[in-house]
Amino acid sequence: MGAGVIKKKGSGGRGRKRSRVQPMSEINVTPFVDVMLVLLIIFMVAAPLLTVGVPVELPKSAAGALPTEQEEPLTITVTASGDVQIQTTPVDRTQLVTRLRAIAAERASDRVFLRADGAVPYASVMEVMGALNAGGFSDIGLVTDIGGPALDGSASSGN
């Protein structure tokens, strides 16, 4: 697959001389490039599927996006029915602080993203934020959709 052999012809003339076999010093990189392109396509298709898949109707805001970080972000979701989920796992509200403390002990970052449906009462969102703080997460980012009112008289720039 990679290297081959080149046979060297003996000089014609007196007697028989043995031909020497030399290894070919060139490597065929075409199979390597083919495999890399296939892997690239697989990752391009699979990357959008790796987002947190809990459907909520996020409120719109004129705020910009938060910078990304090295560690996978922890996402807490409050659904329209008031259920709480850590990533995609449903959690009872009475066990939320205990679960958050266990997660905080294993993580290097205390950043957490809170996603709440727009129909959830403000008091319910504040209860979850209090639980996040009690669980050891002080850097809480509220997730919204872009394109909400700017409240400064300017038109919104998004959808």
Computed from CA positions of residues 77, 52, 146, 62, in that sequence, does the dihedral angle turn out positive or negative? positive
Is residue 75 within 8 A of residue 115, CB to CB? The reply is yes
Give me 86's structure tokens: 């850590």
pLDDT at site 36: 95
Tens-digit pLDDT string for the chain (159 aa): 555 655 555 555 555 666 777 777 788 888 899 999 999 999 888 887 776 566 777 777 777 766 655 667 788 999 888 889 988 889 998 888 999 898 888 888 888 889 988 888 888 889 999 998 888 888 888 888 777 777 776 655 544
∠34-36-41 over CA atoms, to 5°?
100
Separation between Cα atoms, residue 112 and residue 84, nearest integer Å: 14
Q: What count of Cα atoms within 13 Å lies in the side-chain half-sphere of residue 35?
A: 4
**Which letter does DSSP use for residue 86 in this model?**
E
Cα separation values, 86 from 2, 59, 83, 138, Å: 49, 19, 10, 16
* The pLDDT value given to residue 87: 87
**From residue 129, how far is each of 24, 25, 63, 91, 92 by CA, in Å?**
66, 64, 19, 15, 15
Question: Count of alpha carbons within 13 Å of 141, Cβ hemisphere only?
Answer: 18
Residues 6+ apart with CB under 8 A from 8: 19, 20, 21, 22
